[in-house]
Every structure is written in structure tokens, then in C-alpha cells.
Chain A
Amino acid sequence: MFKYYFSLALRSLRRNVVLTMLMIAAIGVGIGASMTTLTVFRAMDADPIPHKSGQLYAVQIDNWGPADHSMDTGDKLEDQIDYVDAMALMHAHAGARQIAAYLTGFALTPANPELKPFKVDARATFTDFFSMFEVPFEYGAPWGSGDDDARAPVIVITHELNDKLFGGANSVGRTINLDNEDYRIIGVMAPWNPMPRFYDLTSSDFEKTAPVFLPFTRAIDRHLLSWGNTSCSKASEEGWEGLLNSNCVWIQFWAELPSAAAVEEYRRWLKNYAEEQRLSGRFQWPAYTKLHDVRAWLTYEHVVSDETRILVLVSFSFLLVCVLNAMGLMLAKFMGRSADIGVRRALGANKRAILAQCLIEAGVVGLAGGLLGVVLTVLGLLGLRSVLSEQILELTHLDPSGVCIALALAIAATMIAGLYPTWRAAQVVPAWQLKAQ
């Protein structure tokens, strides 16, 4: 039966090519626009570490008090913590694992004197960074906690930097020159670029992994300033020690908390820590701390920009107009066939058969519109090349799931649009139509 209705649908669609084309174009353009923006949205809204995002928590502590707060966030909390708190939290080992980290950088002088020095970003952190965030290794391994304690000049480099400096060979044990000091390579990462870069959203959300990782303690030893954001609520003492003892926030802090119980316990511990700070006189305000897991953190940091949300909203409203459009056209089309339907009804087809026939016709239009929509989405994403930043572009491509969503959305939208016209078609009174003939 389906096959018969399908061939009927094709025949009917061929009968009024202009109306059919208009319907397909309307659905196709609507799907194209909404899928283009949805693809960008899905890329920005992606979970960068799906199987673990519920166990990794960003830590916030109110170390400024309610009077001073940045205008960034509505909750009077900064998204980074100061050095004093970072060290206290590291030493307490209150979570299963925890790391403090900040972005800094070097001038890297290549061994080949012909080559000019170049700038490299570097992330200063602790050994547990690699296990917490499941960083894959190509050669070697992360540094150990002994290196953290020894403030050792060791580094882990990315696959990309290893390619650039050593042509992809195993470079473990070799040294590179960072600002006139030799650092020994202890590990080389396999390609790893979680997007959004959830563990540091303070500057750009879609930045690649810093090419160099070094022990936090070493970076502090070498007075390496943060290359990310530093915010202070009041002036600090002069010099490096002044910065370390200040309330300037410039360090990201993450804890791995594998179970709900661990989260609860850590939450309590953190609150207690802030309370102790109040009792010791460092904080003059009630303890105020927060934990966010990865997904909540991405939302908190507004990783998906308002612009993207507005675009998704506008494009889906646009799809709605397209569906209304197709609905009007379909109504015209089905009503124009009242005579045919009357004949079919008179020859014994029941209402249900007419319903099925018309809905399948709508489905065929939806499928064709969906296919056109997929093509237009690909074109739309190409068109975005000139306006999106490179990092986001790399993430936006139409994958098979996107194609499925597009087709399903198109068929569903068209069938919904077809419901009323179909119902009207089924109401055709055979006798009346036959009489009019």
C-alpha cells in the first residue's frame, strides 16, 4: 500500500510542478538555515569530555567579599582564585585529585640558529592535570609529583609542537630552550584539543591546547606572569611576592570528585576552608564558595554566545514561517485535487486511505525538502567561513547525525504542516464532488 501511495504522491507532485517546487524550496531553505545555525550551536555547546564531565569540578571561592566584585558574573564570584587559596587547596588534598593551573608562555629558541625564536603558550599546572583530563600520550609520560615538589625544569609538549621541532620523532629526553633556560621533555601528547577548552575559559573559549606544559611550582619559581586574565580588588604589595600574597585572582582550580558523596564532602570541606579564612581574619565576610561540573561551568561562562543563541532562535522562527508557507501551499494543492479525491472516495477508498495518501505525499515533500536542506546547510557552513573564527570553524561540520537531524526535522515539519490540509482533504464529500463534475 505504501508503495502505491508513494507512486501516487510522486504523480500528484508532478502534476503541479510549480507548487511542488515552492513547497520543497520553502522546507529546504528553512531546514538549511536552521541546520546551519544548529550545527554551529552544537559545536559550541559540545561536551568536551563526555564520559567524565560530571566528575570534574571548577572551584570558586569568594576572596574579595561582597563589596568588590567584577561585573562579569552575576553572582559576585570570580572564575579564578588567588595564589594563597590555590596553594592551600593543593596542599589539603581534599578531592580525589586536584590541580591549579594558569596560562603563561615563553620565547622558544630553536636549536637551529637559522630559525628565529618564536612565542609559545605554556600551561603551568600539576601532575594530576594529565590524569584528571585524560590527556593521551604519544611518547613518554607526565611528570610525577616528585617533579612538582622539586620545581623541576621538565615539560610535556603537544603533538603539534613535537611535529614542528622534531618532525614527529620521539623527543623524550631532549631539551628545548625556553627563554634561555633548558627544559627537558618528559612526555609528548597525542593530539588533544578539547573544544571548548573547558579547563580554561578565562580568555578565549575555543583556543587550542598550549604547546608546552610545565610544573606550576617551576613557573612560580621563574616568576612567570599569567598570560590570561588577572583581576584584583585592591592594590597588592610590589613585586612578585606582592602578587603571590595579593588577592589577585589568576589561577584556575579543578577537583576530580568521582561520586555524589565525594562532591558533597568536598563542598562541605570547601565551605569550611572559607570559614576558617574568616576566623583567621583573612576574609571579613561569610564563607561563599561554589562548585560547577564541566557542563554547568560551560553554561556559567557563557561559552555559547548570545549571538549564536539569537541566530538559532531567528533561524528556527524562519523555519516556522517556511512551514506555514508549505502548509498554505499544501492546502491549496490538496483542495485543488478535491475532484480526484471525490472519485477515489466514491470508488471505495475510506477516509483513512485518503489520510495516508496525503500524509505520504507530505512526507515525500518533506524528504525532498530535507535533502535540499542538507545541501543548503553545507553551503551555509561554507558561507560562514568568512565570518566565523577559525577555531569554531574547525568544529563545525555536518556529521551523519546532523544529516539525520536535518532529514527528520524536515519530514516531521512537513507532516505537521500537512496535518490540516490532509484532514481537509479527507473531509471531501464524494457525492458533492461528483455532482460538481
Chain B
Amino acid sequence: MEVLPILSAMRRNKVGAILVAVQMAATLAILSNALFIIQQHLALSSRPSGIDEANLFAISNQWVGTPPDESALLQTDLAALRALPGVIDAYATNSYPLTNSGWGDGADLKPDQTKSSTHMARYFGDEHTLNTLGVKLLAGRNFTAAEVVDRMYNDQAAPTALIISRAMADSMFPHGDALGKSIYTSGNKAQTSPIVGIVERLQSPWVSGSSWAAGWVENTAIEPYHYLAKSFCYLVRTQPGQLENVLLLSQQKLFEIHRARVLDKVQTLTEARQEVYRDDRGLALILAVVCAVLLAITAFGIVGLTSYWVAQRRRQIGIRRALGATRGAVVRYFQTENLMIAATGAVVGIVLAITLNLWMVSSFQLERLHNSYAVGGAVIVLLLGQLAVLWPALRAASIPPALATRSV
């Protein structure tokens, strides 16, 4: 097309063109990195926990002092919770997913390993745990009531049975033969614990991208314990639609059974998810707003500058029109001009985006930018330029050819 005349016109206004190109390059660099970070954090915060979050709630229970028979009281509580109308099942535990707080440990194949085979989160539970959480047992069996024993904080005996997540099974036994094998857990080098069941998915409590469990967030083991401690949690699964109701009812019931307790943190798992991923979603939201404003600013900048160029060249445009250029040709002129500037900006921008990302990767816990984001950013910037230039270009096209005949 008319590339050469455009180039020669641009040479007379180098700095303006360079400014636009640099601005588009910077926009592209920020945009692609921001979109990439947004995607990463949204992906992180939408990973499934493996449990029936919609119908689950948790009650944090803290005794006042030490009740006379903790063990019996725990059983009474559980029986009462399970008997409430609308309740599917309930169990007591030390910790549960989406809380960023719990017990973690190494798991070993041999007693004399200096470095653990893998790490895992430890959840205490009983024969009601799988049904309460709504996790799917892929292989093996559930705990039996007889296997479940009381456990104090610093008890050191190894669990007599383990139900582990598939991710955990795969990381310790890559050949898929984890069921029935025994492993060393909880620092106990003398006793092993047999794997009696494997569940499809059960996330550890530490889900943030920068947590210590980032590398093994899907590795979990359920141990057959009733946790006798000052503080522990009840998890309750309800029939669909019954959650709010049961949530209130169960607290009343627990206070009826034993008044000297604190029900400190009562939350649905939906709330737990919101809470635990608040920073991730917040970051994504802020970055999205910044991206939108960035695009708007860049677009308006292009509109402003191009309008000015159009105003500056009114006479030349009039002459071109008088010499036979169509309106379309004038519009195309400015579009091509912008495309050339934007394309230059995009090339520089892709390099800049990758450089910025490499620098961020070295300073923060961040992944490498996927190329598709740089390319996508380039496409967005090119389209943005075309869109922004349209209005000034149309204005230019409306300059009458008669202008050429007038003296300024």
C-alpha cells in the first residue's frame, strides 16, 4: 500500500511516533504479565478441594478447662450431630481443607531415610469421615469403628491404618500399587502404617501459592483418631438446602449437651474458600481494573495524538482529497500508519514483556510467562490501536477537498 509515503511523513514526526510505539510496547508488557498473573491466581483459587463444600460446615470446639470425660463427651456430641434432622454425617478432626492451618508431616518408605519420600497433611477422622466430606473412595476400604482410637496432642504411636489421597499414593508408589503397602509417617521410625484406602482427591489445608505445602498440596492422609484436645473441629455435612438451618441447630444442641465450651469459629466451607483465597482473588481483581484503565488511557492517548496529527495535516489531507484520494484512502492512511507504529510497539513490547517476566520470576514466586500471553497482548494492543485511530481517521476523511484551494 502506501507504506513509503507514510514512512516519510512519519520521519517528520519521529518523536510522536516513537512515543506512541513505546507506550504501546509498555502497555503490552504490563498487560500480558498482568493477565498472566490474573490467570495464575484464578486457576489457583478455583482448584477443587475434593470435598462437598456446598453442603459442609465446620464448628471449632474449645472446652472450658478439661471436661471430666472428654472421650465420652466427644462421642455424645458426634452422635447428637449425626442425629440432627437434615444432617448426612459428621465427624471430629484436627483440621480440614481450605483453612491454611493444620498438621503436616513427611512420609517415608524406609525407616532410615534422611530425606522424606514426600510430604502430606494429616487429617484425623473416623469411619464417618469419607461420608461427611463426600470424597470418593477409589480403592480399598473405609476405617472400621474398631480402628478409631483416642489420640492426645503429643502421642507418638503410628496410626494403625491410613486412607490417603490418590496424589499421595502416586507420589509414593508411582506404579499404582499403593494399596496395602505400609509407610512410615509422623516421625515414627519404629512402626509402619498400612494404606487401607485411597480417595480420589482431598486437598491439604495449605492452599496458598507461596505456602510450604505448595509442592504437595494434594497429598493427604486420614488417620483413624478421635482427637482429644482443648481445641478441635466438628465437620457436618447436610442435605442440600439445609446448611443454614443445621448450622444454628447444631450449635444449640452442642450447648445443650455441655455448656462449658466455646464454639469459636463456625463457618461454611464456602466461606472458608472465600476467606482462604481472598488475597488471590483480590490481586486478580485489582490487576483487572488496572488493565482496563491502562487500555483506556492508551486508547485515549492514541485518539488525542492522532487527532492532533490530523489537525496538523488538514491542508495536506485536503490536497490529497482534491487530487483524487477517496475518503476510504484517507481512513486507510491513518489506519496503516497506526498499524505500523503499533506493530513496531508490539515487537518491542513482546521483548519487554518477557524481560519484565524474567525479572519478576527471579524476584518473586512466579511462573514463566506463557508465550501465548505475549502474543495475545500484542493482538489486543494492535486491535486497540486500530479502534482508537478510527475516530480521528474518520474525522480526517471528512475534510473537504475544497480546503486545498483555500489559503490558510
Interface range on chain A (Cβ under 8 Å from partner): 35 or more
A302 shortest CB reach to chain B, Å: 8
* Residue on B nearest A227 in the bound complex, by CB: B231
A75 shortest CB reach to chain B, Å: 15
B213 shortest CB reach to chain A, Å: 9
B297→A322 contact, CB < 8 A: yes
Chain B residues, Cβ within 8 Å of A313 = 360
B279→A238 contact, CB < 8 A: no
* Residue on A nearest B60 in the bound complex, by CB: A119
The digit string for A328-344, where 1 denotes a CB below 8 A from any CB of B, is 11011101100000000
Residues of A218-260 contacting chain B, CB below 8 A: 225, 232, 234-240, 242-243
Chain B residues, Cβ within 8 Å of A320 = 26
B262→A107 contact, CB < 8 A: yes
B104 shortest CB reach to chain A, Å: 9
B27 on the interface (CB 8 Å rule)? yes
A412 on the interface (CB 8 Å rule)? no
B365→A238 contact, CB < 8 A: no
B308→A117 contact, CB < 8 A: no
Q: How far is the CA of A301 from the CA of B310 in the complex (A)?
A: 56
B154 on the interface (CB 8 Å rule)? yes
A318 on the interface (CB 8 Å rule)? yes
Candidates B188, B287, B309; contact of A311 at CB < 8 Å = B287
Interface centre among B15, B286, B312 (most CB of A within 10 A): B286
B29→A317 contact, CB < 8 A: yes
B369 shortest CB reach to chain A, Å: 13
Residues of A13-29 contacting chain B, CB below 8 A: 18-19, 22, 25-26, 29
B308→A315 contact, CB < 8 A: no
B297→A117 contact, CB < 8 A: no
A325-B114 CB under 8 A given contacts A117-B261, A332-B304: no
Q: How far is the CA of A78 from the CA of B283 in the complex (A)?
A: 29
A72→B212 contact, CB < 8 A: yes
B156→A116 contact, CB < 8 A: no
Q: How far is the CA of A387 from the CA of B274 in the complex (A)?
A: 10
B278 on the interface (CB 8 Å rule)? yes
Chain A residues, Cβ within 8 Å of B26 = 317, 320-321, 324
B304→A243 contact, CB < 8 A: no
Chain B residues, Cβ within 8 Å of A309 = 363-364
A325→B262 contact, CB < 8 A: no
A321-B283 CB under 8 A given contacts A117-B260, A117-B261: no
Q: How far is the CA of A320 from the CA of B356 in the complex (A)?
A: 14
B301→A22 contact, CB < 8 A: yes
A70-B212 CB under 8 A given contacts A107-B262, A117-B261: yes
Q: How far is the CA of A214 from the CA of B285 in the complex (A)?
A: 43
Chain B residues, Cβ within 8 Å of A314 = 30, 33-34, 287, 290
B230→A234 contact, CB < 8 A: no
A238-B65 CB under 8 A given contacts A225-B230, A311-B283, A331-B15: no
B282 on the interface (CB 8 Å rule)? yes
A384 on the interface (CB 8 Å rule)? yes
Chain A residues, Cβ within 8 Å of B281 = 387
A331-B19 CB under 8 A given contacts A306-B365, A318-B30, A321-B30: yes
Q: How far is the CA of A321 from the CA of B22 in the complex (A)?
A: 9
B80 on the interface (CB 8 Å rule)? no
B142 on the interface (CB 8 Å rule)? no
Chain B residues, Cβ within 8 Å of A238 = 154-156
The digit string for A410-436, where 1 denotes a CB below 8 A from any CB of B, is 000000000010001000000000000
B298→A318 contact, CB < 8 A: no
* Residue on B nearest A120 in the bound complex, by CB: B262
Q: How far is the CA of A21 from the CA of B141 in the complex (A)?
A: 70
Candidates B30, B255, B293; contact of A317 at CB < 8 Å = B30
Chain A residues, Cβ within 8 Å of B22 = 324
Interface range on chain B (Cβ under 8 Å from partner): 35 or more
A306→B186 contact, CB < 8 A: no
A119→B264 contact, CB < 8 A: yes
Residues of A169-193 contacting chain B, CB below 8 A: 179-181
Q: How far is the CA of A318 from the CA of B187 in the complex (A)?
A: 50
Chain A residues, Cβ within 8 Å of B155 = 238
Q: How far is the CA of A74 from the CA of B279 in the complex (A)?
A: 24
Chain A residues, Cβ within 8 Å of B266 = none
B10 on the interface (CB 8 Å rule)? no
The digit string for B48-89, where 1 denotes a CB below 8 A from any CB of A, is 000000000000001111100000000000000000000000
A152 shortest CB reach to chain B, Å: 19
* Residue on B nearest A376 in the bound complex, by CB: B293
Chain A residues, Cβ within 8 Å of B188 = 235
A327 on the interface (CB 8 Å rule)? yes
Q: How far is the CA of A232 from the CA of B230 in the complex (A)?
A: 21
Residues of B172-201 contacting chain A, CB below 8 A: 186-189
B384 on the interface (CB 8 Å rule)? no
Residues of A354-410 contacting chain B, CB below 8 A: 383-384, 386-389
Residues of B276-296 contacting chain A, CB below 8 A: 278-283, 285-287, 289-290, 293-294
A241 shortest CB reach to chain B, Å: 9
Q: How far is the CA of A175 from the CA of B307 in the complex (A)?
A: 77
A332→B308 contact, CB < 8 A: yes
A325→B311 contact, CB < 8 A: no
B117 on the interface (CB 8 Å rule)? no
A100 on the interface (CB 8 Å rule)? no
B305→A329 contact, CB < 8 A: yes
A179-B30 CB under 8 A given contacts A238-B154, A306-B364, A328-B16: no
B20→A328 contact, CB < 8 A: yes
Nearest 5 interchain pairs by C-beta: A387-B282, A235-B187, A180-B65, A332-B308, A325-B301
20 additional A-B residue pairs with CB within 8 Å, beyond A22-B304, A107-B64, A325-B297:
A37-B286, A67-B114, A70-B212, A117-B260, A180-B64, A306-B365, A307-B279, A309-B364, A310-B360, A310-B364, A310-B366, A318-B290, A321-B26, A325-B300, A329-B304, A329-B308, A331-B16, A331-B19, A332-B16, A384-B282
A–B pairs, 16, beta carbons within 8 Å: A70-B212, A180-B65, A235-B186, A236-B154, A307-B283, A309-B363, A311-B287, A314-B287, A317-B356, A325-B298, A327-B19, A328-B20, A328-B23, A332-B305, A387-B282, A387-B285
Please report A residues at the B interface, Cβ cutoff 8 Å: 18-19, 22, 25-26, 29-30, 33, 37, 67, 70-72, 107, 109, 116-119, 179-181, 225, 232, 234-240, 242-243, 305-307, 309-311, 313-315, 317-318, 320-322, 324-325, 327-329, 331-333, 335-336, 383-384, 386-389, 420, 424
Please report B residues at the A interface, Cβ cutoff 8 Å: 15-16, 19-20, 22-23, 26-27, 29-30, 33-34, 37, 62-66, 114-115, 152-156, 186-189, 210, 212, 215, 229-230, 255, 260-262, 264, 278-283, 285-287, 289-290, 293-294, 297-298, 300-301, 304-305, 307-309, 311-312, 356, 360, 363-366
